């Protein structure tokens, strides 16, 4: 596909795998609408003149209908609208079917900024650096109100909703810096909730990864929270603890106490951390405390990354190009009590609490 040929003037650049076809689709709708607007307008004027009343007493000739004409103007619009539906649906499914081999980046929206966590521990605010030609999947949630992650050059726009994960993906096809907007009115500084997405070619991307001060990777940080929040006291390996084992859990089907099953995906894990009573695993009591208010969305995401990291590895799945690991990072990745992450703050409190005291404080829920 040669994006250059159909670059529409005044449109943003075409910088993702979706851009060209999305523009073609738009162009098609525009041309179709234009064609019928002109056709109907011209016909109306022509008939107005042709069949005007020519004398006072003129009585028009009665026309009783025309079957062929009726069928034609029913079938033709039907075929056209079905074509629009099929093309639109195809694009929709492409955009909303997450690839399995993507570079996964976690994004949090917050009044009024965008935060991104890369799989190797790089973090950024109001910027997103992505490699050229690689599928990138964003898993997003909001700390407060609804935002919307909008990159016009990629032709992707996805709502970022508090209390749930939404995802979007794209393959950047052109090196450059592109606008990032919030496309959902979210308060007084909504218009300032902007940033940029930077597409870098492979060597530059490597250099960027190396140049950014690297925190613990989300999985490493998640493991630390897992310990400091005392999750590990109950979720022992081999289902020997009070809670089910989380080893090899991610992506599998979990049988619940009510007999139904649920897939252990990000949404399920998030819910089980924040509202543990919602889905009780079969054979376990409802006595896990909620962690609502004790962990931020970013920390929840880190814990999920940790659980993913101890889950089964789906074939072909990767987290990130591994170069960052090749270059020894300036910070030792597993410094046990590093005060590094600002995110580590709230963890400090429950760290000292034994699971017993925690359950004493909030004796309600579990899964």
Burial letters 53-83, b for 16+ CB under 10 A, else e:
eeeeeeeeeeeeeeeeeeeeeeeeeeeeeee
Q: Which candidate, 273, 269, 300, places its Cα nearest to that of 141?
A: 300
State how far the Cα of 7 lies from the Cα of 210, in Å rounded to an integer.
Answer: 35
Q: In the complex with ligand CUA, which residue's Cβ is closer, 191 or 327?
A: 191
For the CB of residue 112, give the shortest distance to ligand CUA in the complex, in Å: 6
Residues that bind ligand CUA (CB under 6 A): 109, 112, 147, 182, 184-186, 190, 193
For the CB of residue 184, give the shortest distance to ligand CUA in the complex, in Å: 5
State how far the Cα of 362 lies from the Cα of 367, in Å rounded to an integer.
Answer: 14
Q: In the complex with ligand CUA, which residue's Cβ is closer, 14 or 108?
A: 108
Q: Which candidate, 268, 239, 240, 242, places its Cα nearest to that of 359?
A: 242
Q: In the complex with ligand CUA, which residue's Cβ is closer, 41 or 192?
A: 192
Q: In the complex with ligand CUA, which residue's Cβ is closer, 106 or 149?
A: 149
Question: To 5 degrees, how large is the angle CA 317–CA 248–CA 105?
Answer: 40
Q: Which candidate, 230, 260, 236, 233, places its Cα nearest to that of 249?
A: 236
Q: Which candidate, 174, 191, 291, places its Cα nearest to that of 234?
A: 291
Q: In the complex with ligand CUA, which residue's Cβ is closer, 109 or 131?
A: 109
Q: In the complex with ligand CUA, which residue's Cβ is closer, 130 or 140?
A: 140
For the CB of residue 182, give the shortest distance to ligand CUA in the complex, in Å: 3
Coil, strand or helix at 38: helix
Find the length of the chain: 367
For the CB of residue 95, give the shortest distance to ligand CUA in the complex, in Å: 21
For the CB of residue 190, give the shortest distance to ligand CUA in the complex, in Å: 4
For the CB of residue 177, give the shortest distance to ligand CUA in the complex, in Å: 20
Coil, strand or helix at 237: helix
């Amino acid at each position: 596909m040669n994006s250059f040929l159909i670059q529409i003037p005044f449109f943003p650049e075409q910088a993702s795998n979706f851009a060209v076809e999305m523009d073609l689709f738009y162009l098609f709708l525009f041309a179709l609408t234009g064609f019928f607007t002109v056709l109907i307008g011209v016909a109306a004027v022509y008939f107005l003149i042709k069949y005007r009343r020519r004398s006072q007493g003129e009585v028009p000739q009665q026309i009783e209908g025309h079957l062929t004409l009726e069928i034609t103007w029913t079938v033709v619009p039907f075929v056209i609208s079905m074509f629009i539906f099929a093309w639109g649906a195809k694009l929709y499914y492409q955009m909303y079917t997450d690839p399995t081999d993507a570079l996964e980046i976690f994004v949090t929206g917050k009044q009024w900024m965008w935060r991104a966590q890369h799989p190797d521990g790089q973090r950024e605010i109001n910027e997103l650096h992505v490699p050229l030609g690689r599928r990138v999947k964003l898993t997003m949630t909001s700390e407060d109100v609804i935002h919307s992650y909008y990159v016009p050059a990629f032709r992707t726009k996805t709502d970022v909703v508090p209390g749930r994960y939404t995802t979007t993906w794209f393959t950047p096809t052109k090196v450059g810096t592109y606008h990032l907007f919030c496309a959902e009115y979210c308060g007084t500084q909504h218009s300032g909730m902007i940033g940029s997405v930077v597409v870098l070619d492979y060597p530059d991307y490597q250099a960027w990864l190396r140049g950014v001060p690297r925190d613990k990777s989300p999985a490493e940080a998640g493991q630390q929270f897992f310990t400091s929040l005392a999750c590990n006291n109950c979720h022992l390996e081999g289902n020997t603890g009070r809670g089910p084992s989380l080893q090899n859990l991610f992506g599998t089907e979990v049988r619940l106490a009510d007999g139904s099953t649920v897939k252990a995906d990000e949404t399920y894990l998030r819910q089980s951390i924040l509202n543990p009573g919602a889905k009780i695993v079969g054979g376990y009591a409802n006595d896990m405390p909620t962690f609502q208010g004790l962990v931020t969305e970013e920390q929840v995401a880190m814990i999920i990354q940790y659980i993913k990291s101890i889950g089964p590895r789906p074939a072909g799945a990767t987290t990130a190009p591994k170069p960052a690991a090749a270059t020894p990072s300036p910070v030792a990745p597993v410094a046990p009590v590093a005060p590094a992450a600002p995110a580590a703050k709230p963890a400090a409190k429950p760290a000292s609490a034994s699971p017993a005291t925690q359950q004493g404080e909030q004796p309600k829920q579990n899964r």
